[in-house]
Amino acid sequence: MSDDTVQLNAAAEDYFHTLAGLKYPQALADQYPRIAQTIFNLKDNQTQLRACFASLIEDGRGDRHGFPFDVLMDIQGLREFMLGDVNQFVADDTTKWVS
């Protein structure tokens, strides 16, 4: 799935390229640029950023198919880096990916 209607702006590109110790989220930027742009736009608001990452990672509706693995790893890496959250996934019946 691709989101061709939105592209990352130059400021977002620069920001993601300059995150020390984190590789550029290429899969996210290529396949879901709207999401990458949203993450960049929220970078200075920890509360909204945390909610954004939660909505991306948690399936609150029960009908999502999930992201491709490389995109998920980019999202997880950004979440850990930007929020300082490490190993926040909890595997239980509401969050497991495979049933």
The answer as to whether 79 is a domain residue is yes
What value does the CA radius of gyration of the chain take, rounded to a whole number of Å?
13
- 68-95 pLDDT, tens digit per residue, is 999 999 999 999 999 986 555 555 555 5
- Residue 48 included in any domain: yes
Amino acid 59: pLDDT: 72
40-77 b/e (C-beta count within 10 Å ≥ 16 → b): bebeeeeeebeebbeebbeeeeeeeeebeeebbebbbb
Decide: pTM greater than 0.85.
Answer: no
Whether 59 contacts 6, CB under 8 Å: no
Domains held by the chain: number: 1
Can you give the pLDDT at residue 89?
52
Residue 97 lies in a domain: no
Question: Domain for residue 96, yes or no?
Answer: no
Cβ-contact 49, 82 below 8 angstroms: yes
Which residues constitute the domain of residue 17?
10-83
Return the amino acid letter for 13: E
